[in-house]
Amino acid sequence: MVVGLHIDVVGINAVALLFWSAVVNGVLAPPLMVLVVLLTSDRGVMGAHTNPPLLRWIGWLTAVTMAVAAGAMIGSALF
């Protein structure tokens, strides 16, 4: 609450901060998804509770889709 109060007092647009936090979240999500898929597929880390092949493919498809969307967003902003 203190940080929110200071943001209001300084005059920073809170809606713009929410927008940019969503942008950063969208750009950082694909590498984190890759790490999650790699970790949940590793038998040394997960033991007997590794992802089955179907969930592994869904995870990779999701990570690739999010990476393409983030790349398209960055590309559209630059060009």
* 9 contacts 1 by C-beta, under 8 angstroms: no
Q: Is the pLDDT of residue 3 over 90?
A: no
| 0.85 surpassed by pTM | no
Average per-residue pLDDT for the chain: 93
Would you kindly state where each structural domain of the chain is located, as residue ranges? 24-78
Listed in sequence order, the residues at least 6 apart from 30 whose beta carbon sits closer than 8 Å to its beta carbon are: 63, 64, 66, 67, 70
Q: Side chain identity at 31, as an amino acid letter?
A: P
**What pLDDT shows up at residue 57?**
96
